[in-house]
Chains A and B, each alone.
Chain A
């Protein structure tokens, strides 16, 4: 896959290019190829350059207040050159109230003053190379810890550490009993085998008590699983299945993470709190 090519352009007469230059360098540091047009470019010049340079995306910067006129013009000129599919983003001094108008005209996103360059780089990678750049998980959903008997270890977490038990549940399908302990936005799950065939039992037999798996909270679990499969990542569950707390879950083979069992889970909006 070739590098992302981005055209950074200054439409209109505005001479303030600190932002454009900083963005150009930051995107280069993120592995992109950057073409900077320089100052005072007309929409025609920008669209022509975008086509000639065969870029993946165009970034417009304006601080003079001419964005409502000039940004849509760039879109029009791209359209005329059958290049309407090149996404265009914008930045600079752009009042919030102008953003809906620009988005409606077809600008993909506006990065206003103070936006980290990191945010823009991640956005572009997700927009242009979604297959290479999965969306970062929102948080660690929980840490699973295998224990022989929940009641034996629980006093440590409650009395010595000060955590509170949220619930204790038995999940017959997995052959486990789980104690949920909330820590901020994430949880510790103590996993106790319900019977001999429980996967927790075999883990205990092989490795003894300890951290069993790490679970990431993600969005669109189904499409993630299919992308992982395409990439050849070994999965324990190729399809998601029902987990605790109304969640959908799937496990990735521990060999992929060099010995760590990774779980992906997706909670329906709001079900966790």
Chain B
């Protein structure tokens, strides 16, 4: 064995010992049903050399030395609908059922910075997530949920700073100081321009808000993930696996560039960058995608940005199974799709996972469907044995070849994006959008010509009456939410609100000032999401796309 590899192996063995002190193994002994003992890691002496070890640069085999032998991934089901009180009930239900982290879905008005009583919000209040207007709603949402014990992921982008501040404020009221808070805000505006559509401000001030969050959290919320750079929506919009990985990494580089340009040291913020990927049906390609992305990011951070802290090199990611792969036809088949996709995410080394519910092509999931989705993860974790050794597919000729090829293709895309002048310019010129749309349309044509078979959709069809129990959001909720908001407006100290909003306005004009403390002040005075966004809309302008 060459000296270098010997050294890596010794280092890994030391890492394992260190890791086990903090995170002991889940079981006293790991073995198969036939009493075959299961080792941490497998690799033929020859084949393992180029792969490296888990927990070591470039992290092909995983970011931790022991991966799921010590701790399983976080099971984090995205939920939220209707009012804060209803969503709080669903959260507590999911925690009781063994879920280990929260994930908040907000309704569209909240995501686009409109209050529930805004004309633009009509018909949308509480529909795709929970409606949050003021801190009062956030207090109800997180009622009896100990923020020092539960990590919370919030799918919020353009107004991420506002919702983060509300979270900090609720923590304070619970007596949990901000350094103890754990969780993630999505805060990834670039993919909103490309694929998801909940942008508010133009790219430049949006990037400023993001780097303000990086700087603020580094000081005050050191355990919080400041961004979740998302390929998920890019994939849902119709991209393929390579495009998903490539555009996500390109966006990640744009955030790193912006933060460095704002004066931050790369190692001060890079360890808190998180990623969010999709898991579609093509099993081995998905696994290869996760492994390749990890290796590419490590190389970029180390070699391109010269990050010194190994934490800056590690691509940590959340995965959600592919919503667009689910069919409205024969919806129970979706459970099988979700299982395969979840398995790919686990074999790819995900840090947390959301499994979709079978009825998502029809409406928001019912409690029963959400439970099956969570159970799917638990079965993979506790019954399949795939979590008992690290990177079980490492060294597979097929998976390693796919991983290498994906890496190569992703690098090609990164070169093309670089030629545009980076991700922001490529998005402004519509390059990524065109690539995704082209792939989406080609996929649709392949499905219609039956070149691509979707079980139950274009083959193996049945006559069926699809009328499962669907979750309906109470239509009266909108009015109730508006009443709540107006009540808060009547009760709060309006002068205080005006003062805080004016302070925010003044400082929004000053590029150098970090806006987060001003937003936090406004939030604590019960200024609403819409009111804070109106100030920022005035100062920053609005992005109108095309």
Residues of A within 8 A of B (CB): 12-18, 21-22, 25-26, 38-40, 42, 64-66, 68-70, 73, 93, 95-97, 112-114, 116-118
Given contacts A18-B238, A113-B327, are A39 and B197 in contact (CB under 8 A)?
yes
- Nearest Cβ distance between residue B132 and chain A, in whole angstroms? 15
Most buried by B among A15, A38, A112: A15
Given contacts A13-B112, A16-B197, A22-B444, are A39 and B361 in contact (CB under 8 A)?
no
Contacts of A73 in B (CB 8 A): 123
Given contacts A13-B112, A116-B448, are A18 and B237 in contact (CB under 8 A)?
yes
Please provide the chain B residues from 448 to 468 with a CB less than 8 Å away from any CB of chain A in the complex: 448, 454, 457-458, 466-467
* Contact-residue size bin, chain B (C-beta under 8 Å from the other chain): 35 or more
Contacts of A93 in B (CB 8 A): 361-363
Report whether A65 and B364 are in contact in the complex, using a CB–CB cutoff of 8 Å: yes
Closest residue of chain A to B238 (Cβ to Cβ) is A18
Please provide the chain B residues from 87 to 144 with a CB less than 8 Å away from any CB of chain A in the complex: 108-109, 111-112, 114, 119-124, 127-128
Report whether B108 and A25 are in contact in the complex, using a CB–CB cutoff of 8 Å: no
6 closest A-B pairs (Cβ-Cβ)?
Answer: A15-B197, A69-B123, A66-B123, A13-B108, A65-B127, A113-B328
Answer yes or no: B470 CB below 8 A from chain A CBs.
Answer: yes
Query: With A and B bound together, what is the CA distance between A97 and B119 in angstroms?
Result: 27
- Nearest Cβ distance between residue A196 and chain B, in whole angstroms? 51
Contacts of A42 in B (CB 8 A): 119-120
User: Quick one: which of B440, B454, B475 contacts A21, CB cutoff 8 A?
Assistant: B440
Contacts of B198 in A (CB 8 A): 13, 15
Answer yes or no: B83 CB below 8 A from chain A CBs.
Answer: no
Answer yes or no: B404 CB below 8 A from chain A CBs.
Answer: no
Report whether A65 and B128 are in contact in the complex, using a CB–CB cutoff of 8 Å: yes
Other A-B pairs beyond A38-B545, A38-B546, 4, CB < 8 Å: A13-B111, A70-B122, A95-B470, A114-B361
Given contacts A17-B197, A22-B440, are A112 and B328 in contact (CB under 8 A)?
yes
- Nearest Cβ distance between residue A72 and chain B, in whole angstroms? 10
Answer yes or no: B416 CB below 8 A from chain A CBs.
Answer: no
Closest residue of chain B to A62 (Cβ to Cβ) is B123
Contacts of B152 in A (CB 8 A): none
22 contacts between A and B (CB under 8 A): A12-B123, A13-B108, A13-B120, A13-B121, A14-B124, A18-B236, A18-B238, A22-B441, A40-B112, A40-B120, A64-B127, A66-B123, A69-B123, A73-B123, A93-B361, A96-B362, A96-B467, A97-B467, A113-B361, A114-B327, A114-B454, A117-B448
Residues of B within 8 A of A (CB): 108-109, 111-112, 114, 119-124, 127-128, 192, 196-198, 236-238, 324, 327-329, 361-364, 437, 440-441, 444, 448, 454, 457-458, 466-467, 470, 473, 475, 545-546
Contacts of B192 in A (CB 8 A): 15
Query: With A and B bound together, what is the CA distance between A38 and B441 in angstroms?
Result: 17
Query: With A and B bound together, what is the CA distance between A70 and B440 in angstroms?
Result: 26
Query: With A and B bound together, what is the CA distance between A70 and B114 in angstroms?
Result: 17
Query: With A and B bound together, what is the CA distance between A112 and B475 in angstroms?
Result: 22
Contacts of B112 in A (CB 8 A): 13, 40
- Nearest Cβ distance between residue B99 and chain A, in whole angstroms? 24
Contacts of A64 in B (CB 8 A): 108, 124, 127-128
Closest residue of chain A to B237 (Cβ to Cβ) is A18
Query: With A and B bound together, what is the CA distance between A118 and B237 in angstroms?
Result: 21
Contacts of B457 in A (CB 8 A): 114
Report whether B108 and A12 are in contact in the complex, using a CB–CB cutoff of 8 Å: yes
Contacts of B324 in A (CB 8 A): 18
User: Quick one: which of B121, B363, B444, B470 contacts A117, CB cutoff 8 A?
Assistant: B444
Report whether A13 and B238 are in contact in the complex, using a CB–CB cutoff of 8 Å: no
Given contacts A18-B440, A93-B362, are A65 and B473 in contact (CB under 8 A)?
yes
- Nearest Cβ distance between residue B321 and chain A, in whole angstroms? 16
Report whether B128 and A95 are in contact in the complex, using a CB–CB cutoff of 8 Å: no
Contacts of B444 in A (CB 8 A): 22, 26, 117
Most buried by A among B109, B238, B441, B466: B441
Report whether B127 and A66 are in contact in the complex, using a CB–CB cutoff of 8 Å: yes
Closest residue of chain B to A14 (Cβ to Cβ) is B108
Contacts of B236 in A (CB 8 A): 16, 18
Report whether B197 and A25 are in contact in the complex, using a CB–CB cutoff of 8 Å: no
Report whether A21 and B437 are in contact in the complex, using a CB–CB cutoff of 8 Å: yes
- Nearest Cβ distance between residue B440 and chain A, in whole angstroms? 5
Query: With A and B bound together, what is the CA distance between A197 and B290 in angstroms?
Result: 79
Report whether B545 and A70 are in contact in the complex, using a CB–CB cutoff of 8 Å: no
- Nearest Cβ distance between residue A102 and chain B, in whole angstroms? 13
Contacts of A114 in B (CB 8 A): 327-329, 361, 454, 457
Contacts of A116 in B (CB 8 A): 448, 458
Report whether A39 and B448 are in contact in the complex, using a CB–CB cutoff of 8 Å: no
Contacts of B121 in A (CB 8 A): 13
Most buried by A among B123, B124, B324, B467: B123
Contacts of A117 in B (CB 8 A): 444, 448
Contacts of A25 in B (CB 8 A): 437, 441
Query: With A and B bound together, what is the CA distance between A97 and B545 in angstroms?
Result: 34
Contacts of A118 in B (CB 8 A): 448
Query: With A and B bound together, what is the CA distance between A26 and B437 in angstroms?
Result: 12
Report whether B362 and A95 are in contact in the complex, using a CB–CB cutoff of 8 Å: yes
Query: With A and B bound together, what is the CA distance between A81 and B470 in angstroms?
Result: 36
Query: With A and B bound together, what is the CA distance between A129 and B441 in angstroms?
Result: 26
- Nearest Cβ distance between residue B461 and chain A, in whole angstroms? 10
Query: With A and B bound together, what is the CA distance between A42 and B121 in angstroms?
Result: 10
Query: With A and B bound together, what is the CA distance between A97 and B469 in angstroms?
Result: 10
- Nearest Cβ distance between residue B529 and chain A, in whole angstroms? 13
Closest residue of chain B to A13 (Cβ to Cβ) is B108
Closest residue of chain B to A15 (Cβ to Cβ) is B197
Query: With A and B bound together, what is the CA distance between A265 and B440 in angstroms?
Result: 41
- Nearest Cβ distance between residue A137 and chain B, in whole angstroms? 21
Query: With A and B bound together, what is the CA distance between A17 and B198 in angstroms?
Result: 12
Contacts of A22 in B (CB 8 A): 238, 437, 440-441, 444
Contacts of B470 in A (CB 8 A): 95, 97
Contacts of B473 in A (CB 8 A): 65
- Nearest Cβ distance between residue B109 and chain A, in whole angstroms? 7
Closest residue of chain A to B437 (Cβ to Cβ) is A21
Query: With A and B bound together, what is the CA distance between A91 and B457 in angstroms?
Result: 17
Query: With A and B bound together, what is the CA distance between A68 and B478 in angstroms?
Result: 14
Closest residue of chain A to B466 (Cβ to Cβ) is A96
Contacts of A66 in B (CB 8 A): 122-124, 127
Query: With A and B bound together, what is the CA distance between A42 and B237 in angstroms?
Result: 23
- Nearest Cβ distance between residue B494 and chain A, in whole angstroms? 28
- Nearest Cβ distance between residue B206 and chain A, in whole angstroms? 15
Query: With A and B bound together, what is the CA distance between A14 and B121 in angstroms?
Result: 11
Closest residue of chain B to A25 (Cβ to Cβ) is B441
- Nearest Cβ distance between residue B458 and chain A, in whole angstroms? 8
Report whether B441 and A26 are in contact in the complex, using a CB–CB cutoff of 8 Å: yes
Closest residue of chain B to A12 (Cβ to Cβ) is B124
Query: With A and B bound together, what is the CA distance between A147 and B448 in angstroms?
Result: 41
